[in-house]
């Protein structure tokens, strides 16, 4: 009875008086209009973000897809035995040391005999890449029977001629304002007319290491260096981060020391990455004596960088598991360690893997700490171990972006494409692992 009286009094108080207008419909329409505006604002924000993402990807792909295409020039090369192997012994060392540059020059002069003086011969030779003689050497070493024969051979064009074939050189400019001379334009047009110019897939971009010549520069060295560095990072940061999160969440007593540790972990997650590079330079290189520009040193530095992120994400995932799971395991006779490893960690593994992949993605894109430990060096060989000199994809992109040659512009964007593919592959693996370990309760 009391509740009914109280409800009637509240309704009478809320109802408008006989001379007051009913504002409820107007307020309701106002709230609905505010909700519609909020949805429109959210939709506009999403569309703006997608538009910027599409613009970014279109710009990168538009500039970088040409890095996967290379221009080649066909020449009738005479593999003169008097130049390659005058003794006729067919010894591999003698074949490797022959003057193949002379064969390239002879093939070009046979095609364009008007290049009689030194200046014209220099312009003619500049149409081919710097590694053209090495391509002939590799062919002779692979097929010694080609010695003494004349064979049509496809050789990579120089970076400037490659840019001309891809439309990066404006023919309308004066000769002094472009990197391709009038004679080179005429020779190029003659080669195009008789079908001696072709554009092919640039497999060398994926199978070769860095080079001073843009047409020969590849991404394999940086790709392998990134893989080795991330392998060291993952091997150190993942088990240490998960063990630290388990201890802090399930075993550590709640006191001032653990509070101090938690605060410091959160602070370390916000420390600029170059600080970790300075730490690696001072401790790992100058004190411990690890080799400079090595994946081992780079992996340790990046492990220190990603460790706070993994610990924080793992703690959140562990604490999100219902406490009843742990209580039930302990009630059935499991030890605290068994309850943690057999029941709580498997349920928290999707969140742990998510935090790990976020940390690894950050490590993949870092360049500042690696510059401090010398991984900015020019490395022409593909690293084969953790102590070999190496570079990583972000540093390689930085080096190519700073190069003055026009050919490195497309190489830079092509390397960014490879980096994005690498990152998406890591995310895909993380999603698959998260689905694999995901459990419902």
Q: How confident is the model at residue 88 (pLDDT cuts 50, 70, 90)?
A: confident
Residue 311 CA: distances (Å) to CA of 141, 260, 303: 54, 15, 12
- In this structure, are residues 134 and 97 in contact, taking their beta carbons and an 8 Å threshold? no
Residue 350 has pLDDT above 90, yes or no: no
What is the CB neighbour count within 10 angstroms for residue 101? Answer: 15
Handedness of CA 288, 293, 294, 299 (dihedral sign): positive
CA 321 vs. chain centroid, Å, equals 34
Distances (CA, A) of 324 to 245, 317, 318, 375, 424: 19, 15, 13, 49, 37
Give the residue carrying structure tokens 């999100």: 320
Examine the domain organization and report whether 151 and 263 are in the same domain. no
| 3-state SS, residue 114 | coil
Angle made by CA atoms 406, 409, 411, in degrees to the nearest 5? 115
Tell me which long-range contacts 18-21 makes (C-beta under 8 A, separation of at least 24). Answer: none
Cα torsion through 109, 115, 118, 119, rounded to 10: -130
- ∠ CA 197-201-205, nearest 5°, is 115
Q: So what's the pLDDT on residue 261?
A: 87
Full residue range of the structural domain in which residue 187 is found = 70-198
Note whether 308 and 428 are same-domain residues: yes
pLDDT mean across residues, the chain: 85
Same domain, 364 and 226: yes
Q: Does residue 372 share a domain with residue 275?
A: yes
Buried-state track 401-418, b at ≥16 Cβ within 10 A, e below 16: eeeebebbbbbbbbbbbb
315 and 245 assigned to the same domain? yes
What average pLDDT does this structure show over 19-37? 77
54 occurs within a structural domain: no
Residues 373 and 340 in one domain: yes
Q: What pLDDT shows up at residue 216?
A: 86
**Angle between the 407-437 and 220-246 helix axes, to the nearest 10 degrees?**
30
Q: Is residue 205 part of a domain?
A: no
Q: Tell me, yes or no, whether 131 and 177 share the same domain.
A: yes
Task: Tell me the per-residue pLDDT of 32-73, one tens digit each, with 9 for 90 and over.
Answer: 888 999 999 999 999 999 999 999 888 888 888 888 999 999
**For residue 9, what pLDDT is reported?**
47
Domain end call among 198, 230, 254: 198
For residue 27, what is the enclosing H or E element?
helix 24-64
Query: From residue 268, how far is each of 111, 149, 261, 312 by CA, in Å?
Result: 65, 67, 10, 11
- Predicted TM-score of the model (pTM): 0.81
Q: Give mean pLDDT, residues 393-406.
A: 86
Looking at the structure, do residues 97 and 232 belong to the same domain, yes or no? no
The structure tokens 């004596």 sit at 289
- Rounded distance between C-alpha atoms, residue 291 and residue 302, angstroms: 16
User: Looking at 198, 233, 251, which one is the last position of a domain?
Assistant: 198
Q: Which residue has the tokens 């008007």?
A: 114
R_g of the chain, CA atoms, integer Å:
33
Beta-carbon contacts of residue 95 (< 8 Å; ≥ 6 apart): 84, 85, 137, 140, 141, 144
Taking residues 359-375, report their average pLDDT: 85
Q: Provide the number of structural domains found in the chain.
A: 2
- Are 326 and 401 contained in the same domain? yes
User: What is the Cα–Cα distance from 99 to 85, expressed in whole angstroms?
Assistant: 10
365 against 15, higher pLDDT: 365
Residue 188 in contact with residue 359, Cβ under 8 Å? no
Residues 6 or more apart in contact with residue 15 via CB below 8 angstroms: none
> Is 48 within the bounds of a domain?
no
Residue 194 and residue 228 in one domain: no
Supply the pLDDT for residue 439.
Answer: 62
CATH of the domain at 430: 1.10.3720.10
Q: Write the pLDDT tens digit of every residue in 219-257.
A: 998 999 999 999 999 999 999 999 999 998 888 888 888
Percent of the chain predicted with pLDDT > 90: 18
More confident residue, 434 or 42: 42
**So what's the pLDDT on residue 21?**
56
267 alpha-carbon distance from chain centroid: 27
Does residue 365 sit in the same domain as residue 258? yes
Cα–chain center distance at 263: 32
Residue 404 has pLDDT above 80, yes or no: no
Task: State the pLDDT confidence band at 438, using cuts at 50, 70 and 90.
Answer: low
Distances (CA, A) of 159 to 53, 72, 238, 429: 30, 11, 43, 37
392 within some domain: yes
**What tokens appear for 107 in the block?**
């093939």
SS3 181: coil
Residue 186 lies in a domain: yes
Does residue 6 surpass a pLDDT of 70? no
Q: Which among 268, 302, 307, 420 is positioned nearest to 372, based on CA atoms?
A: 302
More confident residue, 7 or 380: 380
What is the side-by-side order of every strand in the sheet holding 197-201? 150-156, 69-78, 197-201
Say what the pLDDT of residue 263 is: 86
pLDDT tops 50 at residue 13: no
Domain assignment present for residue 38? The answer is no
Residue 162 resides in a domain? yes
158-162, 313-317, 367-371 — which is least confidently predicted? 367-371
Q: Is residue 330 part of a domain?
A: yes
Residues 410 and 312 placed together within one structural domain of the fold: yes
């Amino acid at each position: 009875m009391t509740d009914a009286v109280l409800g009637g009094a509240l309704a009478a108080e809320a109802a408008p008086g006989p001379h007051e207008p009913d504002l409820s419909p107007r307020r309701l329409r106002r709230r609905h209009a505010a909700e519609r505006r909020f949805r429109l604002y959210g939709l506009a924000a999403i569309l703006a973000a997608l538009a910027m993402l599409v613009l970014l990807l279109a710009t990168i792909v538009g500039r970088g897809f040409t890095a996967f295409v290379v221009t080649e020039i066909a020449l009738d090369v005479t593999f003169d035995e008097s130049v390659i192997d005058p003794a006729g012994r067919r010894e591999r060392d003698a074949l490797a040391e022959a003057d193949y540059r002379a064969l390239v020059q002879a093939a070009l002069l046979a095609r364009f005999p008007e290049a009689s003086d030194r200046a014209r011969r220099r312009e003619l030779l500049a149409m081919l890449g710097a590694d053209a003689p090495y391509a002939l050497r590799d062919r002779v070493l692979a097929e010694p029977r080609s010695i003494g024969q004349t064979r049509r051979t496809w050789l990579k064009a120089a970076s400037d001629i490659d840019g001309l074939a891809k439309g990066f050189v404006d023919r309308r400019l004066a000769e002094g304002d472009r990197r391709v001379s009038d004679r080179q334009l005429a020779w190029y047009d003659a080669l195009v007319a008789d079908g001696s110019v072709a554009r092919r897939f640039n497999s060398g971009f994926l199978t070769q290491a860095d080079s001073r010549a843009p047409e020969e520069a590849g991404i394999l060295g940086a790709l392998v260096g990134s893989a080795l560095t991330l392998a060291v990072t993952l091997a150190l940061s993942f088990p240490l981060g998960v063990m630290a999160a388990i201890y802090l969440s399930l075993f550590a007593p709640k006191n001032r020391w653990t509070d101090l540790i938690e605060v410091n972990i959160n602070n370390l997650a916000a420390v600029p990455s170059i600080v970790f590079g300075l730490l690696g330079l001072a401790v790992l290189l100058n004190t411990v004596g690890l080799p400079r520009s090595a994946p081992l040193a780079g992996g340790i530095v990046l492990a220190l960088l990603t460790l706070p992120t993994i610990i924080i994400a793992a703690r959140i995932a562990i604490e999100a598991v219902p406490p009843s799971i742990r209580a039930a395991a302990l009630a059935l006779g499991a030890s605290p360690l068994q309850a943690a490893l057999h029941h709580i960690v498997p349920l928290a593994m999707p969140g742990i893997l998510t935090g790990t992949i976020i940390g690894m993605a950050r490590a993949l894109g870092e360049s500042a700490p690696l510059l401090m430990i010398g991984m900015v060096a020019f490395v022409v060989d593909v690293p084969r171990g953790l102590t070999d000199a190496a570079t990583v994809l972000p540093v390689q992109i930085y080096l190519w972006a700073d190069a003055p040659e026009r050919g490195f512009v497309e190489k830079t964007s092509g390397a960014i494409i490879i980096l994005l593919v690498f990152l998406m592959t890591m995310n895909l693996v993380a999603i698959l692992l998260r689905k694999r370990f995901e459990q419902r309760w």
